[in-house]
Amino acid sequence: MRHLKSYHLFESLSHELPRYRVDVRIFFTSVQPSGGTSPDYWNIYNNEIKTEITSNVFSPDVAQILSCLRSGQFTFGEDDYDWCGQVEEVFSKANISQIASMSEDVGAFIDTMQSEIYQATVEYYQMYEDNVRDRDDEDEEEDDDDFEPMNLDALSDLTYGDNCQGADYFSSDPDVEISDDTISIISEEMEVGSSVDAAINRALDEDWVEEQEVPVLLAHLSDPTRLDAWIKENPMDIDLLDGLPEVKAGVLARTGLKDISIVAKSMRRGLI
C-alpha cells in the first residue's frame, strides 16, 4: 500500500467529498535497557496502534482518528512490551482513551504517549536498580561501586529518535493516489482565483495529469456528469474507484454498467 500524504487542498469544498477507506497506524518506540551505560545492546521495540476511518484522501480526518482512540476503536500491532508491566499499562485501552480525550490533535496524543512510555521505562529500571542494590547489601562480597547506573541520555535518544513515533495513513486500495505534481497544478490554478471544480476541469482539459488519475479527480467534481461519461467511455477504469465505494456505487447505478473491477484490475496488473 502506498503512503498517503496529508493535503488540505479540498477542505473548502461545499459539497460532500468522496470518502476513502484509510488505515491509520500510529507508531511508538519502547526501549528495554539491559543494564550498564552503553545502549549498544539495548532492545528497541516499535509498537503500533491501528484503526480505520473513512476520510478524504487528501486530508485524513484528525477528529475522526481521535474519536476512534477515545472510544477504544483500535487494535494493536505486536505486543513487544511484555517485559515491562509499567509500559504495558501505558498501552492499556483505558489509558490510551484517556490520553486521547485530553489531546487536541494526533501529534499531542503521540507526544504524551511517548513521554509516558519513557517515564514508565525509567520507573522500571529504577526498580531494577533498587533490587540490585538490595542484593548487594545482603552480600558483603559485592562492591556497590561496580554497579553502573542507567544512561538516561541514551534512553532518551533512543526513545525519541527520528525512527520512532509518528503516524502514517494508508489507502485500502493502492491504486487510489494523486501525485504531488497534480496537487501542485491544481493548487496553482486555485491561487489565481479558480474554484476547485474549475481548477480540476482545466487540469483535465489541458491534459496536465496522468490518465489513471482522471477518474479520481473527476470524482471530486460537484457534478458527477463528467465522471459518468468517462466511465461509460472507459469502463475498464472502474477499478480506479475501488477506494471510493460510495462514488463507485453511484456511477454504476446512474450508468447501468456492471462492476468489472476484478477483470480490470487483473488486466492492469498483467494477469490477463
Q: What is the pLDDT of residue 146?
A: 53
Instruction: Give the domain-ending residue among 171, 202, 221.
Output: 171
Q: What is the pLDDT of residue 1?
A: 25
Q: What is the pLDDT of residue 151?
A: 77
Give the closest residue to 239 by CA, choosing from 251, 250, 248, 226: 248
Inside any domain, residue 95: yes
Inside any domain, residue 10: no
Residues 150, 62: one domain? yes
Residues 29, 115: one domain? yes
Residues 155, 203: one domain? no
Among positive and negative, which fits the CA dihedral 134, 135, 140, 144? negative
Residues 83, 137: one domain? yes
pLDDT tens digits, residue range 102-142?
999 998 999 999 999 999 988 888 876 666 566 555 555 55
Inside any domain, residue 60: yes
Residues 65, 106: one domain? yes
Q: What is the pLDDT of residue 99?
A: 96
Instruction: Give the domain-ending residue among 152, 171, 190.
Output: 171
Task: Report the chain's mean pLDDT, rounded to a whole number.
Answer: 78
Q: Cβ(196)–Cβ(18) under 8 Å?
A: no
Residues 65, 105: one domain? yes
Residues 166, 209: one domain? no
Indicate the range of 22-36, 50-64, 76-90 predicted with least confidence. 50-64
Phi, psi of 207 (to 5 degrees): 55, 45
Which is more confident, 193 or 146? Answer: 193
pLDDT at residue 232 is higher than 90: yes
Residues 144, 185: one domain? no
pLDDT tens digits, residue range 164-223?
678 887 765 545 567 778 877 887 887 777 888 898 999 999 999 888 889 988 988 889
Inside any domain, residue 264: yes
Domain span including residue 196 = 180-268
Residues 119, 91: one domain? yes
Which is more confident, 80 or 16? Answer: 80
Residues 165, 190: one domain? no
Inside any domain, residue 227: yes
Q: Cβ(252)–Cβ(228) under 8 Å?
A: no
State the total domains in the chain. 2
Residues 165, 245: one domain? no
Residues 50, 122: one domain? yes
Instruction: Give the domain-ending residue among 171, 206, 237.
Output: 171
Inside any domain, residue 11: no
